[in-house]
Structure 1
Amino acid sequence: MSTTFIHREQTTNAPSVGARGWVALAVLMLPVLLVSVDNTVLAFALPSISSSIGPTGAQQLWIVDIYPLVLAGLLVSMGSMGDRFGRRRLLLIGATGFAAVSVLAAYAPTPEALIAARAVLGFFGAMIMPPTLSLIRNIFLEPNQRRLAIAVWAACFAAGGALGPIVGGFLLEHFWWGSVFLLAVVVLIPLLILAPIFVPESKDPNPGPVDPTSILLSLVALAPIVYAVKNLAHGGPLGQTVIPAAVGVVASILFVRRQLQRDIPMLDVRLFRVPTFSGAVAVNLLSVFSLVGFLFFTSQHLQLVVGLSPMQAGVALLPGLALTVAVGLAVVPLVRHVKPWIVVVIALSMSSLGYLTVLAFVSPTSTTAIVVAFALLGAGIGAAETISNDMIVSSVAPEKAGAASAVSETAYELGAVLGTAVLGSILMAAYRAHLTVPAGVDDAAASLAAETLGGAHHVATGLPAAEGSALLDSAHAAFDTGVVFTSGIGAVLMVVSAGVAYATLRPRA
């Protein structure tokens, strides 16, 4: 019998929580919304950042990528620290640091300063996310209540990703780009006041010793691999892909060996032998990969190609946001009558239809295809992630919830950074390959136009009307060629994810 079903049977007769438990859940949703909004709000702010502090195309990607890269590398370590020293305590430390550094990011004068601030935000963000899911696992012990609480968690995480463009659009229309970072201060101050009152502290009563070697290996295992993927997607030197990838693989092997040899490991890697656990983690990673990659090109298409304002672009995605939340909550009673793995497979197949909609109908002036596509994609991912997260956290005993939650969060954040790095880089490569710069444009301006779509708009404003119009027409067509190409990749990934769910999530004897 799998570990998942053992722990579900043990909690069948667990006590239900009262109103105080649901208030605690509402408080814990504040950091969830914040961190998930932060994953996507920056995509809508990139045009403003580009015109204000002038980052290169590579710096734009690093501004977006460095935060989830650092965060993902530290999630497992921070999840273990929460189990040992207290999940609520770690959450409050992370929230305090995150709010303080957000102020520095808001007033960053250069691209390098903004990248550095985003890296530090990733450090404190790693303290915020694992405690939220592990605290839920320890507050809600009754299976049906726990599943509903996790559905709310997953819906808020997915909704935050979609809400980012709307919030960002509103802020960017009324304030400067730094205001998207000050949002953290507004959200985290209520958390710092309410969490000590309503959220109970919890930790592992018998934690293992702190293992600095495992902490270092968990970081080194991830960061070089992500860097290698980014370099490969950019078409960089082969050595800068092979060497970091090799370092990451070796560190991963050493990390796994160390965990298997320790009596009390930082992360029980034996969990990955349980098909349900490993399959659910894979579903999380691939789902977020597709969602964040979709939002990366959608935000630019709606603003720079269609011509919508940031706020209008965000509102265009509102139907998808509503469906993401509604479907994520609706599957909780549904899985009492339909097997969970069937729900996940159908949901992921629905998400693939979202990408296929873009593939079939996107055009330089379309918004309807984007709205419909995001509705299909969001609904499918909202349903799938509710079930997959419940499978992950219910596969371990409550005292080990931090480590299991960190694995789930690592899948999320790794999917986010890979979605931007891989699909974003492929999109921009297709854009550069299909862009035609009008004759007479000097080399420096042509290079800037080829860097990003925002760069092409900036160059066009300084050209004569005819040349500027020709450059924009070519840039829009080139960008949407890349959109169609990456949408095909996204559709394939969703089909693969549905196949993984079918192969791993079905119950076994």
Structure 2
Amino acid sequence: MDVSVLYFAVPFISRDLHPTAAQQLWIFDIYGFVLSGLLLTMGALGDRIGRRRLLLLGAAAFGTASAAAAYAHNAETLIALRALLGVGGATLMPSTLALVRNLFPDERQRGTAVAVWSGTLTGGVALGPVLSGFLLNHFWWGSVFLVNLPAMALLLILAPLLVPEFKDSSPGHRFDLLGSALSLAATLPTVYGIKRIAADGFTAPPTLAIVAGLAFGAAFVQRQRTAEHPMVNPALFHRRGFGPAIALNAAAMFALAGFSVFSTQYLQLVLGKSALEAALWSLAPSALVGCAAPVATALSQRGVDRAYIVGGAFALAALGYATALGVTAGSGIWLVLLACGVVAAGIVMVMTQNTDLALSTVPPQGAGAASALLETGQEFGAALGTAVLGSLGAAVYRREVTDSAPAALPDGALHSVRQTLGNALTVADRLPSQARPALVHAARTAFVQGMHAAAIGALAVMLLASGFVLTRLRGLASAPSPAIPAEEPAIMPETAGVR
């Protein structure tokens, strides 16, 4: 929820804190940068010191940073506190998923638990903008951070009572500090470069950042191959299904994030909904999403080959993107909501099944690093999807609006119109009333053409993923989970009696 709750708060923060354009960008992006950069480190650290312990430390940090961020008096302080929130988030996400792996050794129970985990995560992302809009209509912008406190307080109180401790108790297993530094050096510049290219196009600084990140990534891989105690055991990728599960979840996030850039703007800038109205309407597809994960889990538990479930789910998402191709500037809201609902249902089924597959192939003592790999892959997929599909849609928009914009625009106006639909509508508001409708129609039609291009790109990725799963991953319906070795108990002695 904390990823999306800030969507509507930025204008209010800008009014009170007066950040520069660069500072405003960092307020929004620093959380995701730090989160993605530290996932691998925190996942491996949880394996070493205990997942419940790391979860509680992260909850304390997350709650403290949230309370402080609500009362930040300048942009620099808010940026620093958002970075601390990213540190806390990086501890929470892999810890919870790793705990699910250990708490539910039975495969059927774990499949249900992963479905609940995935549904809760998806619901939080959808709820964030709605909650943000409600709070901002009644309170100051800091309230969007204070909503984190009750959840963190409950976690700090209940987790010690209800959740046993799990960690890798292998003797002499040390934490890989060099590997941690290399993973951070690989992830941060790569994610930064991808996001900047999505926003500003191909320029030298973000391109060099990606090159540097890839170089550190190669060094990280080599370190994991040669280290005595690696953060990520290379043997994980020898298990059938683990590597593909990470790649397929990344592909799913690539398509979802890349298209969401356009679908959310369509509701506000094409259909003219307010931010809160758009957020409320965006909850409508949840009816389909809420059924998707349980259906996928039920099919898997009945012995249906996981490849058929995941391949069919990718095909379902492809159907949603195909439906989006029928959306026009004059379409009613229900067609785009139906398309988004079908897409989201397919993606949730994919991610639920792939997450369960990845967890079932790893030994319990390595669940933290495996969970972090899944999360990191999804972060990269989302960033890459926003960059690639966003750039594709923006290029089509620029071409179409250039060809169809009225010829009698003021000097310099066309350049602004070509940047974004929001700019085009701002220019249209300054035109005489008789000239305004032509520009609005041209810009909105061009935007929809760009959205169609993004949908076609996402559709192609979904069909390729479906074909790969159906041809290469059949027979993964019910692979048994590795047993916990008797000499390496997953539950620490001091909490072994907690149930």
Residue 281 of structure 1 is aligned with which of 225, 231, 246?
246
Distance 2:310 2:37 in 1: 27
Tell me if structure 1 keeps the 8 A contact 2:305–2:475. Answer: no
8 Å contact 1:230–1:422 — kept in the other structure?
no
Opposite residue 414 of structure 1, the aligned amino acid is F
Query: What amino acid sits opposite 1:138 in the alignment?
Result: N
* Cα distance, 1:337 vs structure 2: 2.9
Does residue 1:134 correspond to 2:98, yes or no? yes
Corresponding position of 1:306: 271
SS in 1 for 2:326: helix
What's the CA shift for 1:139?
A: 1.1
User: What is the aligned counterpart of 1:96 among 60, 74, 90?
Assistant: 60
How far, CA to CA, are the matches of 1:333 and 1:126 in structure 2?
A: 31
1:476 and 2:444 aligned? yes
User: 2:115–2:297: 8 Å Cα contact kept in structure 1?
Assistant: yes
SS at match of 1:318: coil
Please say which of residues 364-373 and 50-59 is displaced more in the overlay.
Answer: 50-59
Structure 1 residues 60 and 305, CA, compared in 2 at 3 Å: closer, same or farther? farther
1:218 corresponds to 2:188: no
Q: Distance in 2 between matches of 1:428 and 1:52?
A: 31
Question: 1:45: Cα distance to partner?
Answer: 5.0
Which residue in the other structure is 1:81 paired with? 45
| 1:378 matched residue in structure 2 | 344
How far did 1:180 drift?
3.2
Give the match for residue 118 of structure 2.
Answer: 154
Q: Which residue of 2 aligns with 1:18?
A: none
Q: Deviations over 1:473-492 (max 9, x none)?
A: 44433332321221111111
Q: Which runs of 5+ in 1 are unaligned?
A: 1-36
Q: Kindly provide the amino acid, as one letter, of the partner of residue 140 in structure 1.
A: F
Determine the C-alpha separation between the residues in 2 that align with 1:372 and 1:165: 19
Residue 388 of structure 1: CA displacement? 0.5
Aligned to 1:193: 157
Instruction: Indicate if the aligned counterparts of 2:27 and 2:79 stay in contact, CA closer than 8 A.
Output: yes
Deviation at 1:328, TM superposition (A): 0.1
Deviation of the 1:361 alpha carbon: 2.2
Please, what TM-score do these two structures have when normalized by structure 2? 0.84
1:159-203: CA deviations, max 9, x gaps?
Answer: 223333333343344445554333222332222222222122221
Distance 1:411 1:331 in 2: 22
Q: 1:353 to 1:48 in 2, by over 3 A?
A: farther
Distance (Å, rounded) in 2 between the aligned partners of 1:158 and 1:404: 20
CA separation in 1, counterparts of 2:284 and 2:107?
30
| 2:219 equivalent in structure 1 | 254
Distance in 2, Cα, partners of 1:461 & 1:84? 59
How many residue pairs were aligned? 472
Paired residues for 1:103-182 under 5 Å: 103-106=67-70, 116-182=80-146
**Is the alpha carbon distance of 1:214 and 1:308 closer, same or farther for their aligned partners in structure 2, counting shifts above 3 Å?**
same
Structure 1 residues 449 and 400: alpha-carbon distance in aligned structure 2, compared to 1, 3 A threshold: same
Equivalent residue letter for 1:501: V
**Post-superposition CA distance 1:276-299 (Å, at most 9, x none):** 111111111111222223333222
SS at match of 1:361: coil
Larger radius of gyration: 2
Distance 1:303 1:181, change over 3 A: farther
1:390 equivalent to 2:356? Answer yes
1:282–1:497 Cα contact (<8 Å) kept: no
What letter corresponds to residue 227 of structure 2 in structure 1?
R
| Residue type of the alignment partner of 1:499 | G
Change (3 A) 1:470 1:52: farther
**Counterparts of 2:160 and 2:422, CA distance in 1:** 45
Percentage of identical aligned residues = 42
Distance in structure 2 (CA, Å) of the matches to 1:107 and 1:425: 36
Report whether the alignment pairs 1:366 with 2:332.
Answer: yes
CA RMSD of aligned residues (A): 3.2
Matched residues in 2 for 1:132 and 1:393: separation? 12
Letter in 1 for 2:450: G
The CA deviation at 1:425 is 4.1
Matches within 5 A, 1:237-252: 239-240=204-205, 242-252=207-217
Amino acid at match of 2:86: G
**TM-score of the aligned structures, taking structure 1 as reference length:** 0.82
Select 1:487's aligned residue among 449, 455, 461.
455
The offset of 1:394, in angstroms, is 1.3
| 1:269 Cα deviation from its structure 2 partner | 2.4
Q: Deviations over 1:448-476 (max 9, x none)?
A: 66554444555555665445555544443
Deviations along 1:383-422, whole A, 9 cap, x unmatched?
Answer: 1111101111111111111111111111222223333343
Corresponding letter in the other structure for 2:305 = K
Give the superposition deviation at 1:334: 1.1
Matches of 2:95 and 2:339, distance apart in 1: 33
CA distance in 2, matches of 1:159, 1:95: 20
Q: Would you say 1:403 and 2:369 are equivalent positions?
A: yes
Q: Which residue of 1 aligns with 2:297?
A: 332
- Unmatched 5+ residue regions in structure 2? 480-499
Q: C-alpha separation between the residues in 2 aligned to 1:191 and 1:455?
A: 44
Aligned ranges 1:378-457 → 2 under 5 Å:
378-435=344-401, 436=405, 441=410, 443=412, 451-457=419-425
Task: Return closer, same or farther for 1:75/1:485 CA change in 2, 3 Å cut-off.
Answer: same
**Given the alignment, which residue of 477, 493, 499 partners 2:467?**
499
> For 1:314 and 1:258, how far apart are their aligned partners in 2?
45
Q: Which SS does the other structure have where 2:2 is aligned?
A: helix
**How far apart, CA to CA, are the structure 1 residues paired with 2:420 and 2:22?**
10
Q: Return the offset for 1:263.
A: 2.7
Q: 1:379 to 1:417 in 2, by over 3 A?
A: same
**Inter-partner Cα distance in structure 2 for 1:59 and 1:352:** 38
What is the alpha-carbon distance in structure 1 between the residues aligned to residue 68 and residue 414 of structure 2? 33
State the distance in 1 between where 2:77 and 2:433 align: 36
Q: Indicate how the Cα distance of structure 1 residues 148 and 135 shifts in structure 2: closer, same or farther if over 3 A, else same.
A: same
Q: Could you say which residue in structure 2 is the equivalent of 1:315?
A: 280
